[in-house]
Amino acid sequence: MKNKPCILHKRVFIISSASVVGKKEKSGPLGHLFDLGGDDRFGKNSWEKAEAEMQRLSLGIALNKCGLKDENIDAMFAGDLINQCISSSYGLSNYKIPFLGLFGACSTCAEGMLMSAIYTSLVFDRCAAITSSHYCAAERQFRYPLEYGGQRPPTAQWTVTGSASFIISSLPRDIRRCSAEYIPEIVDVMPGCIVDKGLNDANNMGAAMAPSAADTLERYFSSGISPDDFDMIITGDLGYEGTGILEDLLLSKNIDITKNHVDCGNMIYDESSDTHAGGSGCGCSAVVMSADILENIKTGTVRNILFLGTGALMNTMSINQKQTIPGIAHLVHIKAAKKSDIIIDDMEEK
């Protein structure tokens, strides 16, 4: 196992992204930033079909933004929380693009970006990473049907209704066409290990995932890189509960991320949303990355970030069988590359 980041063999850029969200997310603190949203049904007669439709829409918008079509994309990486990842397979079945299904639970957005970056730096020109989650579909699958009106403990997180898609390219002509001053560049990645610290409270996913995030960050920083090198260290969906645990775990190893750590689960809702410990789900980090963080990179407000998708690798049956909850965290390092500084002709040769 390599305890150093995987450096990419070619420069790869996130040339486009799009976010689609539900009603609660649209009326939250980041609501004005999302590309589409405001409704939870998306014209469908089931929550599962609505979630699939969000994936279809977010990929369509992301392709539209960069003027590309199905045939321009060499592979798409997608996954979600629904059993057998059907939101991805049904949502994306109309796109004639080679499909590589992922399961990373809520870390799927980072896993898809990591995969896209590696593939784009080698065998393909352009890849897409897509993920989603839907509060209503997740509640009835993992907990109770909404009609039951189950009570939620204070450590519970709220599954984000949202989908985001990212188009990753290594083609000079794609970079030339980007209009932003800065273009998000994936510079290195690090896949996470499964970490199981024996937590078994299905209503406290933040605590179950925090040790895996700590593990990946510790491995990353062991190569001499410091947390202070980054403008932001962004975790996916640890929420209020997991955020404190992650920061404490790292402090005990003399790694201090408290100055620049933010969590997408803490950003997407505010207190008026009444979501208890914050947002979660594959869609959580995906829509925050697309609508907020990457946009700030494009303006140069943020220049150098670590994005750490966090996932809990359990299901309802494993909880019922008294198993503990393994976590995972995949890391993607993204920089703001000034368009005028990217020597595009050099890229062709590499």
Amino acid in the structure at residue 23: K
| CB nearer to its own copies: pick between 3 and 301 | 3
Instruction: Tell which one of 1, 254, 341, 349 touches its own copies (CB under 8 A).
Output: 1
Beta bridge partners of 312: 327
Q: Does 89 bind its own copies (CB under 8 A)?
A: yes
Q: Does 222 bind its own copies (CB under 8 A)?
A: no
d(CA 242, CA 252) in angstroms, rounded, equals 15
Instruction: Tell which one of 33, 66, 100, 187 touches its own copies (CB under 8 A).
Output: 100
| CB nearer to its own copies: pick between 90 and 240 | 90
CA–CA distance from 283 to each of 200, 310, 348 (Å)? 23, 12, 34
Amino acid in the structure at residue 256: D
**Tokens describing residue 152:** 């939620």
| CB nearer to its own copies: pick between 193 and 343 | 193
Amino acid in the structure at residue 235: T
Q: Does 221 bind its own copies (CB under 8 A)?
A: no
Nearest distance, CB of residue 144 and its own copies, angstroms: 16
In the numeric block, the tokens 């000079």 are attached to: 172
Q: Does 38 bind its own copies (CB under 8 A)?
A: no
- Other CB atoms within a 10 A radius of the CB of residue 123 amount to 10
Instruction: Tell which one of 2, 32, 259, 350 touches its own copies (CB under 8 A).
Output: 2
Closest CA to 129 of 187, 168, 169, 90: 168
User: Which of the stretches 31-39, 148-156, 189-197, 247-255 binds its own copies when contact is defined by CB under 8 A?
Assistant: 189-197
d(CA 114, CA 284) in angstroms, rounded, equals 17
Region for residue 105 given its phi and psi (left: phi exceeds 0; alpha: psi -120 to 50; beta: otherwise) = left
User: Which of the stretches 80-88, 145-153, 247-255, 289-297 binds its own copies when contact is defined by CB under 8 A?
Assistant: 80-88
Q: In sequence order, which residues have a C-beta less than 8 Å from that of residue 183 and are 6 or more positions away? A: 13, 14, 15, 175, 298, 336, 337, 339, 342
1 and 148 in contact (C-beta within 8 Å)?
no
User: Which of the stretches 92-100, 153-161, 297-305, 335-343 binds its own copies when contact is defined by CB under 8 A?
Assistant: 92-100
Nearest distance, CB of residue 259 and its own copies, angstroms: 27
Q: Does 82 bind its own copies (CB under 8 A)?
A: yes
| CB nearer to its own copies: pick between 10 and 176 | 10
d(CA 341, CA 183) in angstroms, rounded, equals 10
| CB nearer to its own copies: pick between 123 and 251 | 123
| CB nearer to its own copies: pick between 34 and 119 | 119
**Tokens describing residue 193:** 């290990």
Q: Residue 344 in 3-state DSSP?
A: helix
| CB nearer to its own copies: pick between 100 and 262 | 100
311 and 209 in contact (C-beta within 8 Å)?
yes
Nearest distance, CB of residue 46 and its own copies, angstroms: 5
Nearest distance, CB of residue 251 and its own copies, angstroms: 23
| CB nearer to its own copies: pick between 105 and 305 | 105
Q: Does 79 bind its own copies (CB under 8 A)?
A: yes
In this structure, the strands spanning 182-190 and 327-338 are antiparallel
Q: Does 46 bind its own copies (CB under 8 A)?
A: yes
The binding site for its own copies (CB under 8 A) comprises: 1-2, 6-9, 46, 48-49, 70-71, 73-75, 79, 81-86, 88-90, 92-93, 95-105, 111, 114-115, 118-119, 121-124, 190-196, 313-318, 321, 323, 326, 328, 330
